[in-house]
Chains A and B, each alone.
Chain A
Amino acid sequence: MATHHYYSFYLRRFHSLTGVIPIGAFLVEHFFTNSFAMFGPEVYNSKVAFFMGLPYILLIEISLIWLPILYHGAYGCYIVCTGQVNTFRYGYFRNWMYLMQRLTGVIAFAFIIYHVYATRISGLLTGQHASFESVGRSLDNPLILAFYVLGILSSSYHLGNGLFGFLITWGIAIGDKAQRGVSILCVLVSAGMAAFGLAALSYFV
Chain B
Amino acid sequence: MSDKPIRLKIKRQNTPDSSPYWEEFSVPYTPGHNVISVLMEIQKNPVNSRGEKTSPVVWECNCLEEVCGACTMLINGGVRQACSALIDKIGRELTLEPITKFPVVRDLHVDRGKMFEALKKVGAWIPIDGTYDMGEGPRMAPKDQEEGYRLAKCMTCGCCMEACPQYNSRSSFIGPAPTVQVRLFNLHPTGAMNRSERLETLMEKGGIAECGNAQNCVRVCPKEVPLTKTLAELNKDVDLYAIFGMLKK
> Which A residues form the contact surface with B (CB < 8 A)?
4-6, 8-10, 12-13, 79, 81-86, 89-90, 92, 94-95, 97-98, 164-165, 168-176, 179
Chain A residues positioned under 8 Å from B171 (CB to CB): 82-84
A-B contacts, 26 listed (Cβ < 8 Å): A5-B204, A6-B246, A9-B203, A9-B204, A10-B242, A13-B242, A81-B170, A82-B210, A83-B171, A83-B212, A84-B165, A84-B166, A86-B216, A90-B216, A92-B215, A94-B214, A95-B214, A98-B212, A168-B213, A168-B228, A171-B234, A171-B239, A174-B229, A174-B232, A174-B236, A176-B228
> With A9-B204, A12-B210 in contact, do A92 and B165 touch (Cβ < 8 Å)?
no
The A-B contact count (CB < 8 A) is 110
Q: Of all chain B residues, which has the CB nearest A79?
A: B212
> With A13-B239, A164-B213 in contact, do A92 and B219 touch (Cβ < 8 Å)?
yes
Give B180 Cβ to nearest chain A Cβ, in Å. Answer: 13
Closest 8 CB pairs of A and B: A171-B236, A98-B214, A12-B209, A82-B171, A94-B215, A84-B168, A171-B235, A9-B203
Q: Of all chain B residues, which has the CB nearest A170?
A: B239
Give A117 Cβ to nearest chain B Cβ, in Å. Answer: 30
Chain A residues positioned under 8 Å from B210 (CB to CB): 8, 12, 82
Chain A residues positioned under 8 Å from B165 (CB to CB): 83-86, 95, 98
> With A5-B204, A82-B171 in contact, do A89 and B232 touch (Cβ < 8 Å)?
no
Interface size class of B (residues with CB under 8 A): 35 or more
Chain B residues positioned under 8 Å from A170 (CB to CB): 235-236, 239
Chain A residues positioned under 8 Å from B200 (CB to CB): 4, 6
The residue from A8, A90, A94 contacting B209, defined by CB atoms under 8 A apart? A8
A84 CA to B212 CA, complexed, in Å: 11
Q: Does the CB pair A13–B166 fall under 8 Å?
A: no
